[in-house]
């Protein structure tokens, strides 16, 4: 099924579908039971058939996995079918009142609330066209045209407003999710995302194993004290940019863990290769000083600790511990260097 005809959130759509189908089944059953006595036996029979269909639909959305239903476009099918059933009942009962046409709002409202834009256009267009056909079959042309314009405008405006509101909400949700994943200062992924990637790599290692490189900015407190915290922030942004240019995103993940500590996850990487790549990061930082607002250049240095685990070996805590111990060794040995944890 085309993605545009599927639900934005299959589980939310399913919960809402159960409710709206059950309510509609109850309303149609009530109308059949207490409705007009002049309704034909055929209309009554079709009405009860519609009740059964609505009840079956509610049961299906309740019992079947919403994701499976969404894959076959069940939401779009349900909404379009609902529109056609409303118009069929209106034809059989010869009911052209505002109340009868108002039932078209149910499938359109549901579609606009839960389906993607393409499906909303399909459902709303079907509703307007089906209502047009029904009214022109039952009313004089002038009266039918008036009703079509009025109810068509209501349905279209309602659908457009809901689609726009959902679009704004989706953008806000995406922005919040991005903020939850990315460090606001450097633009690097945060520790939670990095830990998830590292743990996944350790669970399903490939090739030559996994390496973790911990990076600490040398004399970062001195930089903050001497130049101010805004320059300290500039240092972190600058480092993130320099390191990002050296790290290939297809086999590595670069993260800011917190403060002035950064980390690189290297997948399918031997210990020797990890050490060489860490040396490359060190040289890149040394050769790229930070321009300060007064035009001077601030030389930067980092210390790096490297830990490596072969395929199908190691765990998250141990790898962090080994890399942190190696980082401490690099700092104790004079900073501005790479230290590798013992295998």
- For the stretch 217-270, pLDDT in tens is 999 999 999 999 999 999 999 999 999 999 877 778 999 999 999 999 998 888
Q: Which residues of the chain have pLDDT under 50?
A: none
Same domain, 173 and 305: no
d(CA 252, CA 293): 33
Give the CATH number, domain containing residue 298: 3.30.70.270
Is the domain of 280 the same as that of 137? no
The verdict on residue 186 lying in a domain is no
Number of domains in the chain: 2
pTM: 0.64
Separation between Cα atoms, residue 132 and residue 128, nearest integer Å: 6
245 and 319 co-located in one domain: yes
Question: Of the candidates 181, 201, 218, which is a domain's last residue?
Answer: 181
In a domain? residue 212:
yes
Question: Which of 296, 284, 287, 286 is CA-nearest to residue 336?
Answer: 286
- Backbone φ and ψ of 306, nearest 5°: -120, 130
- Segment 182-218, tens digit of pLDDT: 888 999 999 989 988 888 888 876 678 899 999 999 9
> What are the CB-based long-range contacts (under 8 Å, 24+) for 250-254?
253/189, 253/194, 253/197, 253/198, 254/188, 254/189
| pLDDT of res. 108 | 94
Q: Are residues 223 and 173 in the same domain?
A: no
Q: Which among 126, 152, 181 is the end of a domain?
A: 181
127 and 53 fall within a common domain: yes
Has residue 277 been placed in a domain? Answer: yes
Q: Do residue 54 and residue 13 come from a single domain?
A: yes
Mark whether 275 and 195 lie in a shared domain: yes
One domain, residues 150 and 203: no
Tell me, yes or no, whether 247 and 173 share the same domain: no
User: What pLDDT sits at residue 39?
Assistant: 73
Instruction: Indicate whether 290 and 215 sit together in one domain.
Output: yes
Q: Which of 152, 181, 210 is the C-terminal boundary of a domain?
A: 181
Question: Which residues does the annotation mark as catalytic?
Answer: 260
Q: Is 54 within a domain?
A: yes
Phi, psi of 147 (to 5 degrees): -65, -40
| Residue 298 three-state SS | strand
155 and 213 together in one domain? no
What Cα–Cα distance (Å) separates residue 186 from each residue in 21, 257, 265, 294, 307? 49, 11, 17, 22, 24
pLDDT of residue 36: 60
In terms of domains, do 177 and 199 share one?
no
* Domain membership flag for residue 319: yes
Q: State the residue range of the domain holding 201.
A: 191-340
């Amino acid at each position: 099924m085309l993605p545009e005809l599927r639900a934005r959130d299959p589980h939310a759509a399913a919960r809402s579908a159960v409710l709206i189908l059950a309510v509609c089944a109850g309303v149609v059953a009530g109308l059949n039971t207490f409705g007009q006595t002049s309704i034909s036996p055929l209309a009554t029979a079709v009405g009860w058939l519609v009740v059964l269909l609505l009840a079956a639909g509610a049961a299906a959305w309740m019992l079947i996995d919403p994701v499976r239903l969404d894959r076959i476009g069940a939401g779009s099918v349900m909404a379009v079918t609902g529109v056609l059933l409303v118009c069929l009942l209106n034809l059989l009962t010869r009911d052209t009142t505002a109340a009868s046409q108002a039932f078209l709002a149910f499938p359109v409202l549901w579609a606009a609330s839960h389906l993607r834009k393409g499906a909303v256009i399909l459902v709303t267009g079907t509703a307007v066209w089906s209502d047009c056909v029904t009214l022109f079959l039952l009313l004089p042309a002038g009266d039918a045209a008036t009703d079509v314009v009025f109810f068509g405008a209501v349905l279209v405006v309602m659908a457009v407003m809901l689609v726009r509101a959902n679009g704004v909400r989706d953008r806000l949700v995406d922005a919040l999710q991005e903020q939850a994943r990315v460090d606001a200062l450097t633009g690097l992924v945060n520790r939670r995302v990095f830990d998830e990637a590292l743990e996944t790599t350790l669970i399903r290692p490939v090739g030559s194993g996994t390496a973790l490189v911990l990076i600490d900015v040398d004399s970062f407190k001195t930089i903050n004290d001497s130049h101010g915290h805004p320059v300290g922030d500039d240092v972190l942004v600058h480092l993130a940019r320099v390191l990002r240019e050296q790290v290939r995103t297809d086999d590595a993940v670069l993260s800011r863990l917190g403060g002035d500590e950064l980390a690189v996850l290297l997948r399918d990487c031997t210990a020797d290769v990890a050490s060489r790549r860490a040396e490359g990061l060190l040289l890149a930082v040394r050769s790229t000083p930070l321009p300060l607002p007064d035009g001077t250049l601030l030389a930067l240095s980092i210390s790096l600790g490297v830990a490596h685990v072969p395929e199908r070996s190691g765990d998250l805590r141990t790898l962090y511990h080994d890399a942190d111990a190696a980082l401490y060794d690099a700092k104790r040995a004079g900073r501005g260097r790479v230290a590798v944890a013992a295998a």
